[in-house]
Amino acid sequence: MTSGPLSLETLQPMTRHILRCRERRVAEASDLLGLDLPRSAYGTASHADRHALWLGPDEWLILAPEPFAATADVWAAIGASFVEVSDRQVALQLSGAGADTCLAGGCPLDLALPAFPIGACARTVFHKAEIIVWRTGSSRFQVEIGRSFAPYVTRLLSQQVQRGRSLAVPT
């Protein structure tokens, strides 16, 4: 499988929400979202362009290209909290051969495919910033970063990417 050259790009703005609810409300929340909310660590679920990333047993990051129709009342009715955080964080996409090694410069998780397969996500750290790392391909990651931490993470990742590119041996 080819994975292409290392690259780092900032993704377009998207709609983000933090969903929080009790476990017994997960089924209803899933119905409202139109996808099966993941129920365990590292889990993600997608339907069309809509994604749910497990952050904790009562917390999910919901990503979508467009705003949601459901209002606060609908969520309140099932005892859930659905708070928009679209502008709270920004997303980078890191892809190409050695993307996992770039992350390993500051992220302590085991990102080998068997331990962190495609679709896995985790909130963790990168150097001194909190990130959410989501593997969207065998060598492609989406990294969600708090808005004001983005320049810091981007610079550190760019250094790794540049270095990784200079090391890449043409095949």
Contact flag: residue 104 with other proteins (CB under 8 A): yes
Q: Which of residues 48 and 56 has its CB atom nearest to other proteins in the complex? A: 56
| CA dist list (Å): 10 to 84, 126, 144, 154 | 20, 17, 10, 9
End-to-end CA distance of the chain: 13
Contact flag: residue 78 with other proteins (CB under 8 A): no
| DSSP 8-state secondary structure symbol assigned to residue 25 | G
Question: Nearest approach, Cβ of 1 to other proteins (angstroms)?
Answer: 13
> Quick one: which of 33, 55, 63, 97 contacts other proteins (CB under 8 A)?
55
Would residue 97 be called left, alpha or beta, if left means φ above 0 and alpha means ψ between -120 and 50 degrees? beta
Contact flag: residue 118 with other proteins (CB under 8 A): no
CA separation for the pair 143, 136 (Å, rounded) = 10
Question: Nearest approach, Cβ of 45 to other proteins (angstroms)?
Answer: 17
Contact flag: residue 58 with other proteins (CB under 8 A): yes
Grouping H, G, I as helix, E, B as strand and the rest as coil, residue 69 is coil
* Strand partners of residue 93: 9, 142
| DSSP 8-state secondary structure symbol assigned to residue 35 | S
Question: Nearest approach, Cβ of 95 to other proteins (angstroms)?
Answer: 20
Binding flags for other proteins, 12-41, as an x/- string (CB under 8 A) = -x----x-xxx------------------x
H or E segment at 21?
Answer: none
**The two three-digit tokens of residue 19, written as one number:** 């969903």
Question: Nearest approach, Cβ of 35 to other proteins (angstroms)?
Answer: 20
CB atoms within 10 A of CB 29: 22
Q: Give the residues lining the site for other proteins (CB under 8 A).
A: 13, 18, 20-22, 41-42, 55-59, 72, 76, 79-81, 83-89, 101, 104-110, 112, 115, 122-125, 127-130, 146-149, 151-153, 155-156, 159-160, 163, 166-167
